[in-house]
Amino acid sequence: MWRGHSCPVAQAYHRAGPARAPKAGLHHSSTSPSGHPCCSSPPSHRRDPDPKLHLPHFWGNRTCQDFAQWVAKDEAGLLSRRSLESLEWPVREGRLPFCCGPLAESVESPMAAKPQPDAPNAKSPGSSASSGAAPQGQWGRAWEVDWFSLASVVFLLLFAPFIVYYFIMACDQYRCSLAAPVLDLAAGRTRLADIWAKTPSVTKKAAQLYTLWVTFQVFLYLALPDFCHKFLPGYVGGVQEGAVTPAGAINKYQINGLQAWLITHLLWFANSHFLSLFSPTVVFDNWIPLLWCANVLGYAVSTFAMVKGYFFPTSVKDCKFTGNFFYNYMMGIEFNPRIGKWFDFKLFFNGRPGIVAWTLINLSFAAKQRELHGQVTNAMVLVNVLQAIYVLDFFWHEAWYLKTMDICHDHFGWYLGWGDCVWLPYLYTLQGLYLVYHPVRLSTPHAAGVLLLGLLGYYIFRMANHQKDLFRRTDGRCLIWGRKPRVIECSYTSADGQRHHSKLLVSGFWGMARHLNYTGDLMGSLAYCLACGGGHLLPYFYIIYMTILLVHRCLRDEHRCASKYGSDWARYTAAVPHRLLPGLF
């Protein structure tokens, strides 16, 4: 323990006193999105001679002097109450964190010594847990940034835009060959300047088209309350509540994505067959100029979200800072940035404009294939149909999406802002783009096999998620494959020392593998790629990327669950030994 008031934090704390300490309700218990109950008790504002403070986790890389200066500024009236409260100090009695290690004589607990990034409060597959509160620092993205995470962030910031450009340029200039540009450059047959000179720049038409598209999607999102739930049996739309945020807030969302998708596509077909206001090939014809427009929006919204997180966040209690600019920019500061009551950045950009556009982009590619080659091949039809099923499934279950990792775990930064504007619409549609340049026509057995694989993958993906949902909603009082589900009773301890009980499902698809929903997703992804034949690597980028993404997510989920359930998780993995492929992995 550090004694007296030698530490500037202790001095600042005593100067600030109870009058300027955060409100007592700031850290009351709340339920985490995952249902992992951990509590943070309200701070105690006693002026005892030997206070024990637990600094906010995002000050882990800052000095005690910084904190003292912040309090001094507040005393001078230079900070608003809102700014001071965003510090989230002191949240509970404990040891001085490692950032002030030289000023502390001892640190007893590793948890107090160093906050745990990305702690385990995600539910295990098919678990139903009692509700509770997430401890500060145990939800969402990391508070601290290790060198590997920082290197990964910088790499993606630098090279992800180049990867997208390279793929699209390869199709435009080299008929989708990924090796040809490199070989030409190595042999001296071309220069980077030559490739860049052949790349179409942004045009007035593309800028107008993209602005109209985004504006129209914002209008559908904000101005038209959902009516589909009133006549579609089983569909959940309209105003729905999201999961409880780490700060205890419950956001409301206007679920109308299916309606927006239907209206958009009805207008598209009306134009294609009756109105003829624009060519159905308009997306393909402006594909690269639209890429520059999408990048402008992606960087603009990401930058705005970061500035907003620093200066006028929607909820200061749901913000995270690491002290590292690049990590904050990429992974986001605000948990749920909003403008007004209903415009939620995360829901809008995750679902619109990228996913609504996905099927329109494929339709434009099909129209271009017909224009160039006089027909739409069965491979193009398969890609359009299988990916449309995935998109429609997303919007049909948009209310369920509010409880997924994207909404409940991720903050909104460049990763989501730029990724949803650029990465998703440009790299998830590579199969359709490839088929414009290479009109593959599959044999009947090949086409039937691709269709069967895609539908089987979708069935596994959907039914596995349905079983998990049903098990959670009924607390295990349901039937899985006609039988009472087998469960593993488990328990865990929350931050306040309380013991909680939960159940892990080991029946149905969740008895075959711990993440069989991911397996179904990968089967569908492979089907899209196999529809393109075996002539080039480019259309197979999607399955490579999805495999890396989902295997990493699988391992990350299991790390959290192992930390949460301890020996009970070991019993679960013994009962269900494989992650993705029964009998193999």
Closest CA to 465 of 527, 400, 511: 400
Q: CA angle at residue 496 from 495 to 498, to 5 degrees?
A: 100
| Amino acid type, 310 | Y
Low-confidence ranges of the chain (pLDDT < 70): 1-145, 494-496
3-state secondary structure of 180: helix
- pLDDT, residue 14, reads 40
- pLDDT, residue 18, reads 38
- pLDDT, residue 323, reads 78
For residue 260, what are its two tokens?
């927006």
C-alpha torsion 329→335→339→341, nearest 10: 180
3-state secondary structure of 127: strand
- pLDDT, residue 403, reads 80
244 membership: H or E segment, kind and range? strand 238-244
- pLDDT, residue 137, reads 36
For residue 561, what are its two tokens?
């669950």
Q: What is the 3-state secondary structure (H, E, C) of 443-493?
A: CHHHHHHHHHHHHHHHHHHHHHHHHHHHHHHCCCCCCECCECCCEEEEEEE
Question: Each residue of 377-410: pLDDT tens digit?
Answer: 999 999 999 999 999 999 999 998 888 777 877 8
Name 151's Cβ contacts closer than 8 Å, sequence gap at least 6: none
194 membership: H or E segment, kind and range? helix 192-198
- pLDDT, residue 66, reads 46
- pLDDT, residue 458, reads 96
Diameter of the chain measured on Cα atoms: 85
What is the domain partition of the chain in residue ranges?
147-199, 202-441, 450-584
- Global pTM value: 0.75
- pLDDT, residue 146, reads 72
